Each structure stands twice: as C-alpha cells, then as structure tokens.
Structure 1
Amino acid sequence: MTIRTRFAPSPTGYLHVGGIRTALFAFLVARQAGGQFILRLEDTDKKREVPGSAEHLIASLKSLGLHYDEGPDIGGPFAPYKQSERLEIYRQWAQKLIDAGRAYADPYTADEIQAFRDQATAHKQAFLYRHYRPDNPPAWDGTQPLRFKTEPKAYHYHDEVMGDITTNSEVVDDFILIKSDGYPTYNFSHIVDDAEMQVTHVIRGQEFISSMPNYLALYDALGLTHPVFAHMPHILNEQGNKKLGKRDGAKDVLDYIRDGYLPETLDSFIATMGWNDGTEQEVFTMDELITKFSLDRVQRSGARFDEKRLLWMNGQFIRELPLDDLINRVEYFWPESAKKHPEDYKRSVLALAQDRLKTLKDLPMLTNYFFEDPAPQPQLILDNKQLKKLSADEINNLLELVKTSFEACDDWQAGALQICLNRLLEQTGQSPAVLFSLVRIVTTWAPFSPQLNDTLSLLGRERTLDRLAFRL
C-alpha cells in the first residue's frame, strides 16, 4: 500500500504553529514511507474565507520545506484540489446516499429547529436531530439542506496517538451533508475527498475526535474502509493552562521567518512539541525527522509552546550553518550602514557575529559598529555591574593606558592583540571583567560583541584608537 497523507486547511486566515504541526507530521509520515503528501484547500465556508489566505497557506508550507506532491497550484491525478471546484463530485456521492435511503432533504426552517432544541432543553435532554426526523421529507432539489440518515450504533476504533476509543450510539446524529447554498459541510466533503484521493492516513487536531462517531457512520453508509486516524493534542500557551491562541503568541508562521527564524528551526521546534525519538536529542534536521519520526511517540497530552526554547534552538541552527549559506540568508537583515562596504568585509563581520546570533534579525545590533561609528552611550558603562564600581577618573585613566598600549602595537592581528590585552591585565591589575568590558563597550557601544581581540582586529587600528579616545 502506498502511504498517502494530506493537509487540508481552510483558507480563513494565516497558518500558525498548530496547523503547521499537523502539516509537518503528515509530511513526515508520507516521506518516511516514500509516499505522497497532498495539499487540499477546504474552501466551502465562503462566509469565513479570507482573501489571500490560500496563497498565504501555500507560501507558508513552501517556506518550511513542506513541499507537497499534489495540490491546487500544481495539480495531480485527483484534481481539482479546491473543494469549491469539486461540487459535482459531492452531488454524485450525495445521490448514492439518497438512492440507498440514507440521506433526505431537511424541510425545517431555522425557527422550527430552534423550537426542537428548546423542547429538548425543557425535557432536560440532549438535542438530537434524528429524534425530529421528518416522516415524509420532500425530494431533494438542492435548495434545502441534505441530511445524513444515520443508523446509530456504538463504535470502537484505534487512533495512532490517542489509542483505542469506544463511543456509544447516543452521540450519532443526522448531520448536514450539503448546505442550502450547494456547498458541502466538512463532515461530508472530507470523507468523500479522502476516498477519491486514496488518502491512507488522516492526521488532524484532537477537536475532531468528538465528531468521529458521525464520520464512522458515514464511512459505513458509503461502504468505505476508513483510513488510519491520528489526532494531535493541542498546543498550549507558555503557562500550559489553555490552548495556544493569537493572544498567547500564535503568530503567523511567515512572521517568524521575517523575524529571523530559520525554517529548519521551526520544523525542528514544532516537531518536538509533543514528540521525541526516545533519546535526549532536542534538535533535529529534516532528514533526521524523516528517519526517526513515528506517530506512536506523539504524546497524548498537550504540548507547551516555549518561546525561549525556540530562540535557543534557532541559535543552535544558525551556528551550524556553513558561512556561504548564512551569507545568502542574511541578505535582507544587514544594517543600512553595511550596504556601502565590500562583500569580503561583510563576510568577515558575519563570520565573527555568527556564534552570537540568536535570530537573523539580531544582525544589525551585533554588527552596525563595524560599518559606522556608533554614538557613545556612557550609560552602558554606568550600568555595567563591574565598571560602575569605578570612578570617572579611574575609567578615564584606564582608557588612556589602553590607548597608549595599543598605539605601541604594530601587529594588528587577533593573536597579537590578545597578547597586548593580557599584558594590560598585568599592568593594571584589573580583571578581564573590568578591563575587557570597558574596551569592548567603548569600541562598539553595543550590549554584546564577538570575541574582543577578533573584534578589534576587524575594526582596524585607526578606528579602534579613535574610539578609545572617549572619556567620561
């Protein structure tokens, strides 16, 4: 059997980490088995559709390397891959149910259905539409909702993540298959499409578990063997007390990339929210994920979204990038002041800064002082835990001594500069935390910088001496 998975989002907004995790897991299952990964757009709820969402979903998947084998923009053997273009297919399947006596036109108005709900409430009963099923429904002409005529029974099924699940007959009901506007409901269309597209594994969020009895009833009525199911637990906010929402930081995945996060980071971070390979490994390349991923190691409880862990992981990936690769990725992140400098010099700056980058967006803060003289910020000295213990005169005397010592340095290579710095420690009797911090601040006016001797070497003799002329 060829493994075929799908990601089937609705184009109703941007794609955040919850949706990406579903897509990523479906992608990994397909790739690991040498199967196909499908993108299908479930765009039948026209009231909630957001213009541009479909394009955004596609861009998000491609930016993370989740390249699908079939989809709305590339076609495939089961096209079209947009549900709004498959309406005739749904009508044909609906007719099969009508012919078998398993679907009927819903003749009731919204007010009549509400009256049924009120009646059930008054009797302290759960509302089930099948209890009010019409005795002689009209022939379906497409202007009324079409409902599934269920035959309630208990179901037992296996979920690859949640385990064995049993439901009773009371939760099965007559649900709408096709709405009065001619568009199918998700409950109907996804089952038809999965069957037509030969999907073998359905991977989606746990919010669909409550609807599974109805889905299984429809599989039975259509004579279909249901696929393998895997329902993913929620991604929780940082506190772990509720499902992650926009207010908790569920950002657009493309915003993370614009903020300097690598696609590799996002793939690894999202994959390891609720999954591990049974080892202590925390960071995975895509090839490792494809090799090691398994649905049976996805935890059943919710996974907490940890922004600090994401930032840490991004730094890990940045440090591992070959410099040539990193140069291409930071093209849009350089400070404005870097544009007039030669590429070789920028390459040298990046080589120094690479180990300190947590996001690509940090590049200007960490490198601007290599390209232009920064404005002095004496507060950096006054706020420094070690330097604030010294008086202004002591600071100035140290700077004068450092400047004089460096003026005598003929060799401006990093190794020679380190010797000069070590000699200064002996002359002044100061600790590196004092002396090196002072030199670093005055020559960069930045909160952080790379190794001091490397920084001074790249800044050059003239610029270093000019900046050491600062006095409090």
Structure 2
Amino acid sequence: MYRRYAQTLIEKGLAYPDPYTADEVAGFRAAAEAEKRPFLFRNHRPETFAEWDGTQPLRFKVATIQRSEWHDEVRGDLSAGEEMLDDFIIMKADGFPTYNFAHIVDDHEMGVTHVMRGEEFIASMPKFLSLYEALGLPLPKFVTLPPIMGPDGKKKLSKRDGAKDLLEYRTDGYLPEAMRNFLALIGWNPGGEQELFPGEELVEAFSLERIQKSGGAFNEEKLKWMNKGYLALLPQTEREQYFVDALPATIRSLPQFSLERAAKLTDTALERTHNQVEIREAAEAGEYDWAFAAPEVPKELLKWKNDDSFEQALPRLKNALKLLQNADFGSPEGVKAALWEYAEEVGKGELLWPLRVALTGRERSPDPFVCSWVLGQEETMTRVNGVII
C-alpha cells in the first residue's frame, strides 16, 4: 500500500531515490555547520534521478518552498516559515515507510477525521501539509493536545518523575477504564464536579472546545483514587477475580486457602487498597494470613485496655462461643446480630477486641464480624475455643 502511494509521488516528480551515501550526507551537514547555516537536503537535490528499485531510501521532493499556514482546533491559526520545509525520507532502504509518510497514508485509508497529537509535532506540520497536498488528500482536523506535566506541574513528565510504560500500569492492576478517564482529564476540563465517566459517559461529555492549551500534572494519587472508583463499579465476580489474581503464591500455599474465603475477603481488601500492587504488598506483609491459616495467638494480646490480665477476657469469649453456636454466618451482619446485645452489656471493646485477636492473632484486622463470616462457623468456633482452653 505504501509503495503504491510512493509510486504516485514518483510519477508526479515529487519523490526521488536518495543517491548519497551516509558519509556524503555527513559531509554536506559539516559544510553547513562550518558556514553557520542550517543544513537543508533540498540544497543538494540531484538534477537527474535514477529509477527507484526499492533498495534505496526514497525522498519526498517539496514542490513549493513557501510559508505554511494551518488551523489547529486548540491552538487556533498557526504558521511556520519556509525554513521548516525540506526533502525527507518517506521509504527506507529496507522497504518500510517512515512515520512521516506512513501516518498520513494510514489516516487517509482508515478515514481518520481528527488527528490529535502532542505539541512536539507542531514543528513537523509543514512537512505533513506538503505531503497531503502532493498526494491530493483532504486535510483532517488537527488537534494539538497539551503536554502531560510532572507532579509539580512545572516540566514535562519524564522517567526521573517515575513515569512508566503504559503496560506497566496494566501489570500493576490499573483498569483500562480508569487510565482512560485519568488521561482524559489531564488538560481537558469537562466542567462541573463529576470526575468518573464510566462507559460511554466520557465519549458523550468530551468536546474539543474544553481542551486546554496548557499542560496538566500527572498525579498518581488521583490515578489510584480513580482506579479504586472503577473497581467499585465492577460486577462482584470480576472484583473477586481481580483480588484473587493479585494474591502471591505464598498466600495460595497456606493450609486453609480456598477461593471461597478469598472471595469473601475481597470487599474488605479492596476497601483498603487501590490496585494489585497494594494487594500484593498487603499480602506479603501478612495482612491476609489469618484468613487462610490458624494464627499463633499471644495470650497477652487478648487483654483489653481496661482489663488487668488476659484471663479476664476468657469468660467473655466463652459466652461469645455459646452465642456463635446459633449465629447466622450467612453475612457479617448475621454474626453481629448474635453478639451485639452481649457486647453492649459487657462493653464493646471488652468483647470485640479479644474476639478479633482470637480469630486473627493481630492487633489490626477487619472487625470480628467480617472475620467470622470469612472463616465460617466451624473455623471461627475452633479458633475461639483454642484460646479459651
């Protein structure tokens, strides 16, 4: 396809095979530098051209050296001087097209109506316009997008600022919908307070008129917040799979690991995390171990702050154990309903603290109602009974 377009230019006398070696071109460039003038290949055009056989680079011949003017949907009317025009390679010696040529052919073949690019391509617009004219192609609308700035908003985002390949964000568990929404809001202001635009809402809200000229900062905390928002919108089965996929092998190898428990733990885990990296970090820190392995419970940890010793918590745990025999373990609320009246009677901390410790062996964990529901009735009662004995 590209050769066909290239042949059209050749037949019009607007493309020619490059007859020079790399050393010869380097000599032309050195001479221009010595004379303190810009190097322009068009000053070295050969007067006669050999027939292009596809094994040499093919250069576009700029037909008219003139000032270029065009309209940008964001920047308005723009122009550039004739010094921006030069003969440039459109087909390489290996038979592949260059970007400067291929993107114009591709866009035309695909019926692209709006070409949206970064500001670094403004300087290349005279070349592109010359090619459109030479090929007789209609101009699309040109849209210059604002640059993505670093976190401080003062310079373009770079690797020094922690910029990563887009695919790395996918590996880290950022949803495509969240990344699309996040990038759209850098340099585009939809108006109003809405920030999440799921599904077609972003397409419906978007307009060229609200694209800003100035760049927007890449705020990774905002991206995390958006990802958490989109995770909340996923169907429950997809949320569960997302969580399970992030769990490392160390969790999957624990003796009580099961997909059922992992599914129950999902909502609690996603309340505290924004992506799969944070899930893995939490798992590696042992935050989920209690759900898949019986913990070693230090007896002293059972002691509530108002108790003189851990032994004072044991009678309360015995009474809780009796109440749990008839509890509804179908939900955390069912477990809470069985224990709450007694908790209010003896003191919420006095009951719930040692119960949490008995189930998890940790000072910090989900509330004991959630823990009980995740573990199920049999394991819950086994663990509570284990600290009483």
TM bucket, shorter chain: 0.7 to 0.9
Of 314, 336, 354 in structure 2, the residue corresponding to residue 403 of structure 1 is: 314
* Matched residue, 1:462: 381
* Matched residue, 2:81: 168
In structure 2, list runs of 5 or more residues that go unmatched: 325-334
What are the within-5 Å matches in structure 2 for residues 87-98 of structure 1? 89-98=1-10
Equivalent position SS for 1:397: coil
* Structure showing greater Rg: 2
* Matched residue, 1:302: 215
The answer to whether the 8 Å contact 2:116/2:145 transfers is yes
* Matched residue, 1:277: 190
Of 3, 9, 18 in structure 2, the residue corresponding to residue 106 of structure 1 is: 18
Q: Which amino acid aligns with 2:186?
A: M
In 2: Cα distance, 1:257 partner to 1:196 partner? 30
In 2: Cα distance, 1:210 partner to 1:140 partner? 29
Using structure 2 for the length normalisation, give the TM-score.
0.79
What are the within-5 Å matches in structure 2 for residues 262-273 of structure 1? 262-273=175-186
- Cα deviation for residue 330 of structure 1 reads 3.3
- Cα deviation for residue 212 of structure 1 reads 0.8
Q: Rate the CA distance shift 1:122–1:446 in 2: closer, same or farther, 3 A.
A: farther
Of structures 1 and 2, the one with the larger relative CO (CA 8 A, separation 6+) is 1
Q: Rate the CA distance shift 1:264–1:377 in 2: closer, same or farther, 3 A.
A: farther
In 2: Cα distance, 1:318 partner to 1:377 partner? 36
The answer to whether the 8 Å contact 1:205/1:231 transfers is yes
The more displaced of 461-470 and 450-459 is: 461-470
The answer to whether the 8 Å contact 1:318/1:357 transfers is no
- Cα deviation for residue 453 of structure 1 reads 3.4
Q: Rate the CA distance shift 1:315–1:122 in 2: closer, same or farther, 3 A.
A: same
Q: Rate the CA distance shift 1:424–1:301 in 2: closer, same or farther, 3 A.
A: farther
In 2: Cα distance, 1:398 partner to 1:323 partner? 43
* Matched residue, 1:120: 32
* Matched residue, 1:32: none
What are the within-5 Å matches in structure 2 for residues 347-362 of structure 1? 347-360=263-276, 362=279
In 2: Cα distance, 1:376 partner to 1:415 partner? 26
In 1: Cα distance, 2:304 partner to 2:29 partner? 83
In 1: Cα distance, 2:203 partner to 2:363 partner? 40
The answer to whether the 8 Å contact 1:414/1:456 transfers is no
Equivalent position SS for 1:264: helix
Q: Rate the CA distance shift 1:367–1:414 in 2: closer, same or farther, 3 A.
A: farther
In 1: Cα distance, 2:298 partner to 2:7 partner? 76
* Matched residue, 2:327: none
Does 1:204 pair with 2:120?
A: no
In 1: Cα distance, 2:89 partner to 2:172 partner? 43
Q: Deviations over 1:167-215 (max 9, x none)?
A: 1222111111222333222111221222233222222333222111110
* Matched residue, 1:134: 46
Of 363, 367, 370 in structure 1, the residue corresponding to residue 288 of structure 2 is: 367
- How many residues are aligned here? 365
In 2: Cα distance, 1:215 partner to 1:447 partner? 65
In 1: Cα distance, 2:208 partner to 2:245 partner? 38
Give the fraction of aligned pairs with identical amino acids, expressed as a percent: 40
* Matched residue, 1:62: none
Using structure 1 for the length normalisation, give the TM-score.
0.67
Equivalent position SS for 2:117: strand
In structure 1, list runs of 5 or more residues that go unmatched: 1-88, 382-391, 429-434
Q: Rate the CA distance shift 1:399–1:350 in 2: closer, same or farther, 3 A.
A: farther
- Cα deviation for residue 307 of structure 1 reads 2.0
* Matched residue, 1:317: 230
Q: Which amino acid aligns with 1:405?
A: R
In 2: Cα distance, 1:426 partner to 1:192 partner? 71
In 1: Cα distance, 2:224 partner to 2:189 partner? 19
* Matched residue, 1:39: none
* Matched residue, 2:61: 149
